[in-house]
A and B are shown apart, each in its own frame.
Chain A
């Protein structure tokens, strides 16, 4: 077991010697190297997600449970009070649930866990850029959420009192912007979260605000105008407005406004990431 029994080569094999030409060679295919790093990071992250029961439960089963809950109690809660049918509210709310649970609530502990185990710090010493490291962590949750959204839209379209998306373009924009906003918000929230366990608590403020204000469990047009107006500018509401406009063609002239608001909140979340995110452990 002596160190001298084996002498693995310490020289780089035949490939380009490390010389002055290296920087130029590096730049030949930035997109491809980015993709390669992202897939390596995402693959590791997916393995971690699959091995973590509670994270997997939160990402896959929670949205389903919430939809089941609304299906059972929708009428009692008065979900159909307003312009939309109960099925329309549940169908679009389900997309919102996926964004909030499979993306936002799943990613906070992921970022906190990687930070506290000094994985982020370690990765930053390598070739991957900051954006690649942060994106790599998000990819598996985002992919799972996209699959769930596709299944929901497919199932919803087959439902007798719903139809296929009226404006698929708007629906896609809504879902994509929603994903991006939730990822950025999760990164920001992780900065204010000490441990993986406390992520359940730090996720609550945005989660509850989103549930209450975005028309997921109460239709906004049944509320007093001033309240509805305030709710419409809250972070998650423009995303849901776009989803509703895309699927149900509801919302009309407010679409531009919703789009601008969603972009503004996403940009703000991006700024907050730059301002508050930390790579070093808090413990």
Chain B
């Protein structure tokens, strides 16, 4: 079962220099990224390259998560897959077709939930669903779609009276109206309360179990860890880690941090521990947390040393993610 529903090869996406319509879409956090892109990529004001050569594929029936900090290029990538934007270079295929040129054939088979979708605020939930349903080839009954996201009791409520989380769920329901084979979810649980998040996760799992392939972007690590069969972590337009959550985690070292009392030099630590000294702490990165921790603690007891703020953390997706965030250079000094 290795049929791929999404295939991406060498995908690049550049927002034109000057004030093109596409460039104007980058906002907020994207600006820091833009400055960084110019400085690092040296592209001399020829715009900002948000996606810089991606290769990945999504298998039928799996949940694939694209993780990344704000401005990493997640949405820019997904927009190309959804057929909302053309790639600057590279190819994408969705269900074996080009999402842009074969739009009419692809759209009936996919469902899309944008990061910021919108529905007219003066329509009720049912009226909104009726409008959307009329634009879907083979729509699911409206009642059923609303039940899937637990919104049936809000059917006659105007959209403007819904909470932010309820709007996200309505958005999800609309993405599900066409029985999508491939579902694109751009930060689906942002703004949801914990209970609604759990329910959305359960729904995503049910959809996956019934054969729907799901590509989701998120900046919640727990969401990716709990839902994704495979994931890719993006940073500055590139994939820096990819694999199953376990694989990505396994590639990361575990970490022991502590402080030594005044007068005890780091040089006194056992050499095998490969400790690194930072301003505020000593840090040991290890692939063998248990042995190294035991060695450290034995050394401390034998030498009567108190390890202040001792902390040992096993590798996690969070570590992988924070590791990337730490690599971000400091802008202040550079300018």
Contact = CB atoms under 8 A, between A and B. Distances in A.
B105 A23 contact: yes
Nearest to A7: B206
Contact of A127 (B120, B131, B135): B135
Contacts of B148: 8, 10
A13 to B, nearest CB: 8
A8 B172 CA distance: 15
| Prevailing SS type, chain A contact patch | loop
Nearest to A40: B134
Nearest to A33: B137
A37 interface: yes
A10 B118 contact: no
Interface residues of A, number: 46
A169 interface: no
A226 interface: no
Given A10-B212, A122-B118, A4 B202 contact: yes
A51 B102 CA distance: 38
A47 B127 contact: yes
A96 B290 CA distance: 84
A125 interface: yes
Contacts, number: 123
A52 B147 contact: no
Interface string A1-24: 111101111111001101000110
Interface stretch (A113-121, A138-146, A203-211, A235-243): A113-121
A211 B131 CA distance: 37
Nearest to B82: A125
Nearest to B144: A8
Contacts of A234: none
Determine which residue in A4, A15, A122 has the highest number of CB atoms from chain B within 10 A of its CB, and name it: A122
Nearest to B179: A12
A119 B118 contact: yes
Contacts of B135: 37, 40-41, 123, 126-128
Given A12-B138, A48-B123, A22 B109 contact: yes
A15 B138 contact: yes
Contacts of A118: 114, 116-118
| Interface range, B side | 35 or more
Given A3-B199, A18-B109, A48 B134 contact: no
Contact of A26 (B24, B137, B150): B137
Contacts of A15: 138
B21 interface: yes
B197 to A, nearest CB: 10
B25 A44 contact: no
Nearest to B128: A44
A10 B178 CA distance: 11
Interface in A32-74: 33, 36-37, 39-41, 43-44, 47-48, 51-52
Contacts of A278: 21
A33 B123 CA distance: 23
A5 to B, nearest CB: 10
B108 A37 contact: no
Contact of B108 (A26, A119, A123, A124): A26
A280 interface: yes
B118 to A, nearest CB: 3
Contact of A48 (B105, B116, B120): B120
A48 B117 CA distance: 18
Contacts of A125: 82, 84, 112, 114, 117
Shortest 5 CB-CB distances between A and B: which pairs?
A40-B134, A118-B118, A23-B105, A44-B131, A3-B202
18 contacts: A1-B195, A9-B210, A15-B138, A18-B109, A40-B132, A40-B134, A43-B130, A43-B131, A44-B120, A47-B127, A118-B118, A121-B114, A121-B118, A124-B84, A125-B112, A126-B107, A127-B108, A127-B137
Interface of A: 1-4, 6-12, 15-16, 18, 22-23, 26-27, 33, 36-37, 39-41, 43-44, 47-48, 51-52, 113-114, 117-119, 121-129, 278, 280
